[in-house]
Structure 1
Amino acid sequence: MRLRIALAIGIVIALLPPLSYGLVSYRYLANEITFVADLQSARVSKYIYAHEDLWQYQLVRITEIVELHVDQSSKTEQRIFNNDGKLLLTVGESPGLLQLTRDAPLVVADRQIGRLEVSIPLSALALELFFFSLLSSLIGIAAYYARALPLRRLDQAVGELEAAKNILEQRSGQLNEAQHLGLIGDWSYNFGEDTLWWADEIFNLLGYDPDTFDLTRDRVMELYGDDDASRLLELQSEVVKHGVVRSIDVRVRRGDGEYGHFAVTTKLRSDKHGDKIGVYGTIQDITDRKLASEQLEKLAFHDPLTGLANRTLFHRRVDDALGRCARTGEIGALLLLDLDRFKDVNDTLGHAVGDALLVKVAHLLARTLGNAHFVSRLGGDEFAVLLEGVSDRDESERIATEIVAVISGMTVLDRIEVTVGTSIGIAMLLDHGRTSDELLRSADLALYRAKEEGRGRYRIFESSMDEAVQEKVALSPDLRNALADDQGLSVHYQPQIEILTGRVIGYEALIRWNHPVRGNIPPALFIPIAESSHLICDVGYWVLRQAAFQAKEWLDAGVPTPTIAVNVSAAQIWNSDLVSDVGKVLAESDLPPHLLCLELTESLLMDQNESRVRNVLKSLKEFGVTLALDDFGTGYSSLGYLTQLPFDKLKIDRIFIDGVNTSQRSTELLRGIIALGRGLGMTTIAEGAETQEEVAVLRELGCDQIQGFFFARPAPADEALAYALRMAADALVAATPDRYQAATA
């Protein structure tokens, strides 16, 4: 009997410790790997949620997410499969043939899109059990022979079990910490009960006191915002019915009364018999992710400066409106507008003032149109308005007229007065385009025509606009090639006559273009092309250089060389180094600076901010060149600059000359302009004189010089010089008629 008892004790000692250790270790590993699988699937699902369409192509990023939260020192293999069972990704080393595997579903927006499988090796545990079993067997054998020894070995085994328990508790603590860092808490509910169970982390996430919060089912349902409670119950019914795992994003009221965004995952709980006894899952705080997503959406579809919709959202709205008009027959229109002279505001006053102006224009548009129409900023100073539900085309024109009136005029920004206006191109939905791109192109062509006709107005698209623009677009590369090859371009010179002597005392250099296919193209056509294609600075420099070298050639030939006048565009002031260009041309041509006259229009001095122009003109005067104010009286500036800027000549525009001999008011106005120039010590020159009567009035009013078709049209250099020589001879005869007659007798 004692032998049997000893044998029984030996067998118990040999089998019980390894079996107990193996069972505890296996359950620990199973729980740990199950939790890891659930946690990793939640992390991957969270990432896929924001990139659902492309997640299967972003495996490198998913690999980083998976590797970041796995102990790299252990052989843990993780695999991701899609719903078809196709292996998409493997991370980690293979644990070998002897392994423990658990999986968890990948759930996004209540849909399972795949599963994540985690495997760990059991070889270490098997080896431990082998040696443990061997040790227990030896102890059992020894106990069979000595009952005291097994008792000591049993104490040792119990100690090892306690150590394993401590390790398990430590690992559980680590998992809890991971939940805390991931803002995840556990919950569960058993069918038929009134209360739920929440982990402490959920109380922390929601900000409720576990000692005072009534954790009943009805109380918890009251926390959900809007219809989120009913949505969650529907989802949980599906989980119970089909045994699937589902997640849903809901809004939950926190303890401070504010709502946060949370992702609730639900799983079915069954007993050992397979009966459904409840549900459990996790709740994760995704407020930061939601807010970031909303911010990203705002950045993706709204202009950060003005807050208006951007080009992307505008295209969507236009496409929706086109579809609606096609279905219902509604009338809609697209208004495309940009600000007149906005670039000059940026260049003269700085981008900060330009941005402030854009914001104010956005506010004006929003206030004028209200919520009835859709306003967006497409970029730069370009805005677009989608008119929906308008009664007819006339209403679109009325709205366009109102917008022009609201934006045009003087706008004050931080005590700086800025004069702006707008031009608008209109395209009718379906009539002028059936896609957003077609509509924008039609509206852009109409806007181009509005600007071409003088700005500060609107135009509705017409098919002829497309043909005209296409012709101009085709000419742009030809003009660029003509500049590059120095072929087809030439300079003609129009004489400027001194009234008292009748002599040619100056020429204005004017560019001409003889196209190899189209023939002579008027400057009124190709100069706007040069401006719109950013070639105007190159054109201006080319004319400046040609005129300077021609004047020097005349001077070297012994011909008395009058002043050569060259027009300077606004773009040469703002977008090029005009001072450097003039200095370079004077140095290369060796032309005396006083023989070069630069003509600038007063529109350069808009917005009463001529600081940059003042600096440029001051530097040019240091060269010794002559400066003329062109198109006087047609610009936007005050007369104050006449006393502040170093102009030598005042060039009176044609509009003041036309009909002066038939209108007393025109005569008096012209008299005042000439007197103003003389009072300021400036030479006055009238351009556009075409009749003998106009010349007579100008002579009577005391104008110094005249330029116009009455005397001569622009001509090539040799013809212009021949005309000047004839005028000089005629002037000599008129001055000394007796001496001329004696010489010819």
Structure 2
Amino acid sequence: MRRANWPSTTAMIIAALLVFATAFLNKIVRQTQEDHTISIVQTFADEFAARLEEKLLTRVAMVDLLRRGWEDGRIDTASDFGEGAAAIQSQFPDIQAINWVNSDGVIIQVNPLEGNEAALGLNLRDLDEPASTLESSTRMNSFRLTRPIMLAQGGRGLAGYAPVFRNGNLLGHINLVFRTDLLIRLVMGSAIEASYAITLVDDGGVVYGNTEQSSGTKYASERSVEAGGRSWIITVTPRDALIDEARSFIDEALLATGLILALVIAVTINEWERNKRKLKEREDRFALAIEGTSDGLYDINVETLDTYLSPRWYQMLGYKPDEMPASYETFRTLLHPQDAATLPLIPEIIQTDRELLEGEFRMRHKNGTWVDILSRSRLVREGGRPTRIVGTHVDLTELRAEQRKLRRAAVTDDLTGLRNRRELEELLQEEQEISTSNERICLMRIDLDRFKSINDRDGHDAGDIVLCAVADRLRESTFGFQTIARMGGDEFLVGWRTRAHDDHIVQVARSLVAAIEAPVIYANKDLRVGASVGIAFIEGTGRASVGEAIVNADIALKAAKKTGRGRHAFFQQSMRDAALKDAALALDIRDGLERGEFEPYFQPQIDIKSNRIVGFEALLRWNHQELGVLSAAQFVPAAENAHLIEEIDDRMFREICLATKAIDELGLPHATVSINISTARLMNSELVDRLLWEVDRITVNPARICIELLESTLLNERMETAVNNIYGLARAGFRIELDDFGTGHAAISSLCNFPVSRIKIDRTFVAGIHSDPSLPAITETLIDLGNNLGITVLVEGVESEAERAFFEKTKCDEIQGFLVGRPMPLNQIPAWVRKWIAAHPPVGFTQIRA
């Protein structure tokens, strides 16, 4: 009976032992696998959080570089900002756009424009989340990120804003826009993405990934990241495929083969080895992914100083991993001596309460050069006790070199290689600081004469050659200029410390003018320019005095140019007073344009034989709200200096076209209207098209419009554009007439070389006609000259019957002056015409229409 039951009892005991052993082994294996998986996930979460924070803060640092450039004046234009933004975007492909937001919250510049057109013109203050973040960044004066938002460019992402202040005033915000999916993939890499799911949550809002539960949730590890005023919770979860690979079937095998202990042990050992291989493969894949990243990784045990340095870490410094030991001492040995003296040691680091550590330093490359390194690390604590420092090293050498190149380009003139005006004040302030008490800093502002004619006649390449030649002559000068800069266009500035008196300064100015006047050889031609010089001295100390001296030199330059070419002038306070007066007048002119205070006055012109009204001369007047009616001579020079004369000319031309239509209604269908065209307008290559467009729009015959040109304008360096415009106007049907004829230096050549239909004898030949015995002969000669060439002759400034009687005896065709009528607004012309016709009815006169 006991023999019959023995096998059964033994089998039960063996079975119980096998089941117990199987369950025990199964628990050990699964627990080991889960613990190892959790450890890998936690390690990856630490590395990922550190790298993500490094990437974010690196981009914020780039934005802060742009911000400092705005605030200290190194970036001052949209073009400068665009260049800086492009340099940053070339380094960081996950950045969607770097925009400029004005102080009203409107995006006015988008970089790059392609793909971001929808953001241009967007008012961020109309959008709740951007508006709130914009206000927060301004209040805190720091970079701030939004919650996840739908981008105007499409898709989901984040936007950050960094305020830019200058002198306490808000200029606007730099707007950084990036897509979180691109940033996360850049941090993860494609190899790691297949094994892990990443979720980023900001205050309940999903920044990246999704929050759905999965089978890997129990292995998930959470970390927090702080950036731009936002706190993100990162959840790293292993994907199902990775968990499936790690899953063991030892328990099923043991239960299935529990009666055969040897087989169970063999299966257990086989499964154990297989799982070890899988874990090794996963670790190898993770190591390959780390090796493939652009950042060097390190992991230091703060107690034992055992150190892990990734292959990429060695590669950044030119070494192979087996060339130097992976130790903390290796890291300290390669540090630049200056940086090693300031970089904290591990005992100092673990005493801090900070978890995130960041620093930038230099490390020695194998070839002896220094590599710029950005270090971002996390102090890992277990049970409140610091155990490890885990982080990344990023090679910033190329980025820093590009930044230095951009900084150099920002302060250097591309064409001449001289400093540009951006760094000028800083350079002069340095000279100011090292000058002695018996020295003064002299500034000479130099403007090239006749340079524009070279550009127009010989082309811009020739102009560039001349500018480079002038720059070389300034460099080669024997006067020892400490500062030489190109101010823009054809203006230069030199500055130096000197003890010399004004007489010597004058000799320097004359020598510079003489050197610049020497010919420049280009295409077998001698190109010649002159120079005018404005001289000022830096008075006092500080940046303000430097800026004031630069302005003073410019004021003196303008004064020198007014006296002729090749001149120099020392700054005087009266010049500044005059400049301020001109500036105030220019502002007043601009306001007058907005208020419509400028209008033409019309002075009649008649046929001297028949008294027939032949036309009117349009004279510019300003109906100033305080000073009354001002003549052109009182404000035109200021308008020209303020570059407002073309706008005034445009309005005048439009008004005289309309006036011509009104004059038709007075029964004067053939009367012309003369208008003076400024030299600046005549140099505009679009002049003919613009005037033709205006007469077509108002339906006026161009033959009714006389374009008055001063003889001095025709002789102004014989600009090619001006000559083309004169002939173009004549071909278009406009009449060309020469004003102030006989007062220039080449009256006959003007008549021969240009399509002149009428000449106007200047008032200077009329006023003394009865007192100066030489004037009658001169005047009659000018009149005969016009008649012999078939050109109509009009005499200006006839104010008495005696003067009229004299010209009636000559071959003069027409007269104009106070005797006929004073300049009058358009609404007074009908009354004057009626009065004139009543007193001087011409033969064949058509009655004025009612």
TM over 0.5: yes
* 1:336/1:444 contact within 8 Å kept: yes
Show structure 1 runs of 5+ residues with no match: 81-85, 108-112, 730-745
The question of 1:120 aligning with 2:229 is answered no
Q: Classify the secondary structure of the residue corresponding to 2:36.
A: helix
* 2:377/2:392 contact within 8 Å kept: no
Alignment partners' CA distance in 2, 1:268 and 1:611: 68
Q: Give 1:230 deviation, angstroms.
A: 0.3
Q: Which amino acid aligns with 2:62?
A: A
Q: Give 1:429 deviation, angstroms.
A: 4.5
1:234 corresponds, among 337, 341, 351, to: 341
Indicate the residue corresponding to 2:362 in structure 1. 250
* 2:602/2:616 contact within 8 Å kept: no
Q: Give 1:120 deviation, angstroms.
A: 2.5
Alignment partners' CA distance in 2, 1:690 and 1:398: 51
* 1:263/1:286 contact within 8 Å kept: yes
Q: Give CA deviations for 1:287-333 in whole Å, capped at 9, x if unaligned.
A: 321232223334444455555555554465677789x5999898557
Change (3 A) 1:127 1:333: same
Indicate the residue corresponding to 2:52 in structure 1. 40
Q: Which amino acid aligns with 2:36?
A: V
Q: Classify the secondary structure of the residue corresponding to 2:360.
A: strand
Q: Give CA deviations for 1:187-226 in whole Å, capped at 9, x if unaligned.
A: 9999999xx9976545644556788x78899x999997xx
Q: Which amino acid aligns with 1:480?
A: L
Indicate the residue corresponding to 1:734 in structure 2. none
Alignment partners' CA distance in 1, 2:761 and 2:781: 11
The question of 1:464 aligning with 2:577 is answered yes
Alignment partners' CA distance in 2, 1:507 and 1:422: 40
Alignment partners' CA distance in 2, 1:418 and 1:653: 34
TM-score by length of 1: 0.66
Change (3 A) 1:37 1:372: same
The question of 1:69 aligning with 2:81 is answered no
The within-5 A match list for 1:715-726 is none
1:581 corresponds, among 666, 685, 691, to: 691
Q: Which amino acid aligns with 1:150?
A: V
The within-5 A match list for 1:97-112 is 98=218, 101=221
Indicate the residue corresponding to 2:678 in structure 1. 569
Q: Which amino acid aligns with 1:120?
A: V
Q: Give 1:490 deviation, angstroms.
A: 1.4
Q: Give CA deviations for 1:476-516 in whole Å, capped at 9, x if unaligned.
A: 1464257x4776x4123578989xx9999987554444545
Q: Give 1:170 deviation, angstroms.
A: 2.1
Alignment partners' CA distance in 2, 1:169 and 1:35: 16
Q: Give 1:523 deviation, angstroms.
A: 2.0
The question of 1:50 aligning with 2:165 is answered no
Q: Classify the secondary structure of the residue corresponding to 1:599.
A: strand
Number of residue pairs matched?
693
1:170 corresponds, among 285, 296, 319, to: 285
Indicate the residue corresponding to 2:273 in structure 1. 158
1:285 corresponds, among 383, 395, 400, to: 395
Alignment partners' CA distance in 2, 1:457 and 1:662: 40
1:480 corresponds, among 569, 593, 599, to: 593
Change (3 A) 1:93 1:594: closer
The question of 1:517 aligning with 2:626 is answered yes
Change (3 A) 1:427 1:236: closer
Alignment partners' CA distance in 2, 1:327 and 1:94: 70
Alignment partners' CA distance in 2, 1:117 and 1:372: 57
Q: Give CA deviations for 1:54-99 in whole Å, capped at 9, x if unaligned.
A: 554465649452454336674434589xxxxx99997555698845
1:535 corresponds, among 647, 665, 674, to: 647
* 1:495/1:707 contact within 8 Å kept: yes
Alignment partners' CA distance in 2, 1:98 and 1:402: 85
Alignment partners' CA distance in 1, 2:250 and 2:695: 104
Q: Give 1:357 deviation, angstroms.
A: 6.0
* 1:407/1:422 contact within 8 Å kept: no
* 1:235/1:246 contact within 8 Å kept: no
* 1:100/1:119 contact within 8 Å kept: yes
Q: Classify the secondary structure of the residue corresponding to 1:492.
A: strand
Alignment partners' CA distance in 1, 2:52 and 2:697: 75
Change (3 A) 1:618 1:655: same
Q: Give CA deviations for 1:589-614 in whole Å, capped at 9, x if unaligned.
A: 97794894643545356444435633
* 1:337/1:447 contact within 8 Å kept: yes
Q: Which amino acid aligns with 1:69?
A: V
Alignment partners' CA distance in 1, 2:811 and 2:220: 105
Which deviates more from structure 2 when the two are superposed, residues 671-680 or residues 259-268? 671-680
* 1:252/1:261 contact within 8 Å kept: yes
* 2:615/2:672 contact within 8 Å kept: yes
Q: Which amino acid aligns with 1:146?
A: I
Q: Classify the secondary structure of the residue corresponding to 1:248.
A: strand
Q: Give 1:671 deviation, angstroms.
A: 12
* 1:41/1:105 contact within 8 Å kept: yes
Q: Give 1:535 deviation, angstroms.
A: 2.8
Q: Give CA deviations for 1:250-284 in whole Å, capped at 9, x if unaligned.
A: 264564x7x463316498999x9x99999997654
Q: Classify the secondary structure of the residue corresponding to 1:646.
A: coil
The within-5 A match list for 1:627-666 is 627-628=737-738, 634=744, 643-648=752-757
Q: Give 1:33 deviation, angstroms.
A: 3.3
Indicate the residue corresponding to 2:733 in structure 1. 623
Alignment partners' CA distance in 2, 1:509 and 1:409: 45
The within-5 A match list for 1:269-668 is 283-304=393-414, 307-310=417-420, 312-314=422-424, 371-373=481-483, 375-377=485-487, 415=525, 417=527, 422=532, 424=534, 429=539, 434=544, 458=569, 459-462=571-574, 464-465=577-578, 468-469=581-582, 471-473=584-586, 475-477=588-590, 479-480=592-593, 484=596, 489-493=600-604, 509-531=618-640, 532=642, 533=644, 534-538=646-650, 540-541=652-653, 544-545=656-657, 556=668, 565-575=674-684, 577-578=687-688, 581=691, 593=703, 596=706, 598-604=708-714, 606-610=716-720, 613-614=723-724, 616-621=726-731, 623=733, 625-628=735-738, 634=744, 643-648=752-757
Q: Give CA deviations for 1:558-599 in whole Å, capped at 9, x if unaligned.
A: xxx997654222344344544663796599797794894643
TM-score by length of 2: 0.60
Fraction of identical pairs, as percent: 18
* 2:336/2:363 contact within 8 Å kept: no
More helix by share: 1
Q: Give 1:381 deviation, angstroms.
A: 5.7
Q: Give 1:541 deviation, angstroms.
A: 1.2
Q: Classify the secondary structure of the residue corresponding to 1:69.
A: helix
Q: Classify the secondary structure of the residue corresponding to 1:20.
A: helix
